[in-house]
A and B are shown apart, each in its own frame.
Chain A
């Protein structure tokens, strides 16, 4: 029994230490966002990195999410004779919930994992040590541009996901299932408020911070060798995905 308690205590302490370390890393990174010199070139490069890596996957998942939503919602709404609400149903689901969450999960899998691997490789090949030895702060050079880029790019990718999703829903709802185009869009105007769009925006902003924070941290403090980088990359994707879903619930409860 004593042995079991020791194991639990040691595990808890280790988790708390890691959490503290992660929050210190975040606080340090957020501090350097506001302290000049600002690295605009690096920021632009990382915006391109996130956008370029994730655009195709966002377009694909966005369109198919909209299409499958149209199919399922149409089936449910038909039971209540409310097929006309298909447009607003799709738009509200996408803008408030599915757009921010699914696009964040997709970017995590595509760009977030690449980010962890890249920073991890820089760590094991001593490039991060080289920056420090040159009296250049690696947080400012490597982490800050990624966090700011993610905060900028996530809402933009979410907006693209939403628009493509709504268009995907239109293709199925209007072109295949026969709802009129006017009904699909006009009721959307009536039911979707600016507040709904802002909920999605707040979510995607916070997901951008969470994903870049976790992925950068895991890469920055990666283990030894290729195995260490591989493990960090997996951990970064799993932890980011869980945090996205947990934070989505809490933020959703607050913003409802």
Chain B
């Protein structure tokens, strides 16, 4: 379970998070939506421990990660898989090298054991046979799928998706959504998805949270969010340029 309590973060004089509170249950998939630059990625970076808050806590399985030392934090990070916005694949490694990387560095699995897992992970994301390609030779959608395979290779209990479909066409976007759904069913992880893809994202998520002005203004199942009377939520869902969200 992930619990975010009264999280505050500023960069110089700019307040980004202004008291975020959110509980994420085990094995649920929650989507955090909000306008670009509202602090969604900053929030996810607090869950990974890449950023430390000015005030507040992030509890993962009851442990406040903002109070851990580097060694304890690394131990906690082993529970996480992260799909970064641009994929964050290592340019110098092949697809195989990228997906195998967490296993070869963090486990004592044999070469053949790693190979079996990597082949399976690539098959799961529909990229079997692409092992020898380099990231530069892949399309945007393929990069995201390789990144997803890498995020899932260690079978983490929590997977964070930072805008997994940004910059992709609707067909590839839909295929990534299907992949999130199928891999969630297969691995049973807790998923936190940052996405703007409304209403498509509602089909794969258990709950949706809306981040606005540095706080979570509404949380609920997709139907509740779609019928919400909150002006910010309504404006975001309808894509209107008039409302409390400043363009």
Residues of chain A touching chain B, judged by Cβ–Cβ distance below 8 Å, are 121-122, 125-127, 129-130, 132-137
Contact = CB atoms under 8 A, between A and B. Distances in A.
B74 A135 contact: yes
A126 B85 CA distance: 8
A228 B84 CA distance: 20
B77 A129 contact: no
B48 A127 contact: no
B54 to A, nearest CB: 18
B128 to A, nearest CB: 23
B75 A129 contact: no
B85 A134 contact: no
A235 B200 CA distance: 45
Interface residues of B, number: 21
B50 A130 contact: no
Contacts of B90: 127, 130
B84 A130 contact: yes
B80 A133 contact: yes
A135 B78 contact: yes
Interface string B66-91: 00000000110110101011101111
Contacts, number: 44
Given A126-B84, A127-B89, 8 more contacts: A125-B88, A127-B88, A130-B84, A130-B90, A133-B77, A133-B80, A135-B77, A135-B106
A134 B49 CA distance: 11
Contacts of B89: 127
Interface in B193-242: none
Contacts of A132: 48-50, 77
B48 A134 contact: no
Nearest to A125: B86
B105 A134 contact: yes
B77 A126 contact: no
A134 B159 CA distance: 12
A134 B88 contact: no
B48 A133 contact: yes
Contacts of B102: 134
B97 to A, nearest CB: 12
Contacts of B101: 134
A137 B48 CA distance: 14
Interface in B75-123: 75, 77-78, 80, 82, 84-86, 88-91, 101-102, 105-106
B79 to A, nearest CB: 9
Most buried by B among A121, A122, A125, A135: A135
A129 B50 contact: yes
Contact of A136 (B45, B85, B88, B106): B106
